[in-house]
Structure 1
Amino acid sequence: MRYETSDEPIFQNHCQCSDCQKRSGTGHGSYLTFGQRADMAITGEVSTWRVASASGNEKIHTFCPTCGTPVFLISVAMPELIAVHAASLDDPEQFNPQMVTYTAHGHAWDKMDPALQTVERMPGR
């Protein structure tokens, strides 16, 4: 499967919530969030599963049905947004995080750039 957009991300973050830790198999997930899901071209097949987020809202996770790689997620509460996994980019070096979210769930062994802004939850929550 492929995705493509000419839009710039509106938010880039590392998330240390327990769901991201479990899904990634490490201390955090890394995402680029885009403001208009409708402007992203998505081709090919994806598989999905739904889960309650740390805020209690439902998230729809998508992954490649062939290899299982996580690709993007959508919050049911904010369906216009799409959060793309940074490691799924053709060029992951384009990921430029601005913030670490859900630091209340972070682990001492999961070191983040100390220059990044940190919040215990998701901004606006």
Structure 2
Amino acid sequence: MSRLFTIGQQSFHEKTADSGNVVKRGFCPSCGCHIYAENSEMPLFEFIRVGSLHNLELFKPELVVYGSSGASWDHMDPSLPKFETMPEM
């Protein structure tokens, strides 16, 4: 799978999600920061952690997942589609 960015070597952790899908998370082996995730149900998607971006303007959010888990102070754009949990594909 081609990537949009070079992230170097990573450490990985896999876990079975509530849906039964396998979520693979990539971490920086030096500092432990969560960089991105993959979901076995959605092989064409990579979920990039916004905190790992150097330029936040390169990517724009397209939807909100797990909106029910968000902090009360985290106000996303109300025009974005919002799902309380992971939407069915």
Which position in structure 1 is the counterpart of 2:2? 39
Identity level (%): 33
Name whichever structure is richer in helix by fraction: 1
Using the size of structure 1 for normalisation, the TM-score is: 0.56
- Aligned-CA RMSD value: 2.3
Which position in structure 2 is the counterpart of 1:50? 14
Gaps of 5+ in 2: none
Pairwise CA distance, 1:42: 4.6
Gaps of 5+ in 1: 1-37
Q: How many residues align?
A: 88
Which position in structure 1 is the counterpart of 2:78? 114
Q: Distance in 1 between matches of 2:7 and 2:49?
A: 16
> Any idea what SS the aligned residue of 1:71 has?
strand
Q: Distance in 1 between matches of 2:26 and 2:6?
A: 11
By relative contact order (CA 8 Å, sep 6+), the higher-ranking structure is 1
The within-5 A match list for 1:1-125 is: 38-40=1-3, 42=6, 44-125=8-89
